[in-house]
Amino acid sequence: MINQNFLINGESMTKWYAGVEAGGTKFNCIVASGPEHILAEIRIPTTTPEETLPKVIHFFEQVKQENQIRLESTGLGFFGPICLDHESSHYGWITSTPKLAWRNTQVVHYFEEQLKIPAAFDTDVTAAALGEGRWGNAQGCRHFIYITIGTGIGGGIINEGKPLHGAIHPEVGHMFLPHDRSQDPFVGICPSHQDCWEGLASGPAIKTRWGQPAETLPANHPAWQLESDYIAYALGNLIVSFSPERIILGGGVMKIPGLIAQVRAKTVACLNGYVQNEKLLQETDQFIQLPGLGDRAGELGAIALAQTIS
Ligand code: ZN
């Protein structure tokens, strides 16, 4: 555990960190030491690297000057795919993203050079996972998964208290699920796979299938039966693959009232008694939870990410 505060001449001094949650529509930037200590935050539209990144740097420089503080490190939680292989010459880059203006953009080196402090880099969802582990609903868990279901579907996997990376990083939103076309003839919207999880169950997939935005569909609409089926299949796959102690489900789609209750029941049902874990079977509402940090999981997660290197 990092000691946030230290005493100089009897006064409490807070260590401040820069956090960036970079998404497809906006960059959420924050200076904080934790959820209880947020000094400043701003939303900057995601346009091009040439336009957006200097605005982010300007914000951090301004906060430093106005508050007469120094920043310890930067946490960069980015949309992917990104390169996390320290051995690669492309470490710290956004790589094959469908957002063409951002393809092959060097991120880490840019932030370190501009702000003159070290930067930690990971996916936006892994940063959110770290935030939930540090301050949210995954506190005390060493093995857990954070999933976001919104504009896209993504997930961060924490194993032995650390983010799982491997060959690139998990892209759980693109797993393949049972797709009964007699029940759901929708072909899916993923540009790479059509009917992967994201292609069938992201917010835009729901909108395309039913012809109206997910948040306008009433709670008794058949959309939610289908949606909870797909999420439950995916969680079943994640549980048998990674053996998590907890799964946190964030993102806009999970705000639909009653959805998480359906997901819990169907996840247990689809595993059909095979995974004999008391917490999963008897405390399912603990095992599968919404984020404790709510919509702030990503940006506070970037602060937790920054704290991993300071
Ligand atoms: Zn896909």
Q: Is the peptide bond before 81 cis (omega within 30 degrees of 0)?
A: yes
CA of 125 to the centre of ligand 1 (A): 16
The structure's pTM equals: 0.93
The reply to whether 137-290 shares the fold of 4-126+296-307 is: yes
CA of 175 to the centre of ligand 1 (A): 7
CA of 70 to the centre of ligand 1 (A): 41
CA of 69 to the centre of ligand 1 (A): 43
| Interatomic CA distance for residues 183 and 190, integer angstroms | 19
CA of 222 to the centre of ligand 1 (A): 23
pLDDT of residue 13: 81
Sole residue written with tokens 């960059």: 27
CA of 224 to the centre of ligand 1 (A): 21
CA of 198 to the centre of ligand 1 (A): 6
CA of 200 to the centre of ligand 1 (A): 9
CA of 150 to the centre of ligand 1 (A): 14
| Interatomic CA distance for residues 299 and 297, integer angstroms | 6
pLDDT of residue 310: 73
Residue in 128, 120, 48 with CA at minimum distance from that of residue 84: 120
* CA–centroid distance for 208 within its chain: 23
CA of 100 to the centre of ligand 1 (A): 17
pLDDT-flagged residues of the chain (< 70): 1-12
CA of 80 to the centre of ligand 1 (A): 13
CA of 103 to the centre of ligand 1 (A): 18
Q: What is the pLDDT of residues 223-261, one digit of tens each?
A: 999 999 999 999 999 999 999 999 999 999 999 999 999
pLDDT of residue 12: 56
Question: By the 8 A CB rule, do 207 and 110 touch?
Answer: no
CA of 91 to the centre of ligand 1 (A): 24
Map out the domains of the chain as residue ranges. 4-126+296-307, 137-290
Architecture of domain 137-290: 2-Layer Sandwich (3.30)
CA of 101 to the centre of ligand 1 (A): 20
CA of 64 to the centre of ligand 1 (A): 41
pLDDT of residue 1: 42
pLDDT of residue 10: 42
Q: Does the structural domain 4-126+296-307 have CATH classification 3.30.2290.10?
A: no
CA of 189 to the centre of ligand 1 (A): 8
pLDDT of residue 80: 85
CA of 194 to the centre of ligand 1 (A): 6
